Amino acid sequence: MTETLAQGLSDFPDASKTWRDLVLKELSFFSSPLSEEIREEGRAQGRAEDVLLVLEQRGLDVPDLVREQITDCGDTAILRRWLQHAVSAPTAEDILTHG
């Protein structure tokens, strides 16, 4: 049922995101491709927020293009590498070369 509903909303990104946000807690116990995709998106979003937080706490300027690239990245392995490099990179742009 949830898979069918997700497919039906795929042409409506805002509605799809709202629906996913609403059912995320309900799917926490459920194992399906959709529930795993939602969990992975949440992990990626959290990791992207961590990267930005480290850069900002270090006082580095984060240009909009870099911020967008970080927040749009859905690959947690790449975001992990970026987070590791955010600790010592001289500029925000420099972390993107380590993806």
pLDDT, tens digit, 9 for 90 and up, residues 72-91: 988 889 999 999 999 999 99
Alpha-carbon distance 41 to 23, whole Å?
14
Q: Is a pLDDT exceeding 90 seen at residue 27?
A: no
In this predicted structure, which of 8-12, 20-24, 28-32, 62-66 has the lowest mean pLDDT? 28-32
Q: Do residues 85 and 95 make contact, with C-beta atoms less than 8 angstroms apart? A: yes
**Best CA proximity match to 33, nearest among 72, 64, 2, 70:** 2
Task: Tell me which residue range forms the domain holding 55.
Answer: 2-98
Q: Do residues 76 and 47 make contact, with C-beta atoms less than 8 angstroms apart? A: yes
pLDDT digits (tens, 9 = 90+) for 34-64: 667 767 777 888 899 999 999 999 999 999 9
Q: What is the mean pLDDT of residues 18-34?
A: 63
Rg of the chain in Å (alpha carbons): 16
> How many CA atoms are closer than 13 Å to the CA of 75, on its beta-carbon side?
7
Our count of domains for the chain comes to: 1
Q: Is a pLDDT exceeding 90 seen at residue 19?
A: no
Alpha-carbon distance 67 to 90, whole Å?
16
Which pLDDT belongs to residue 46? 87
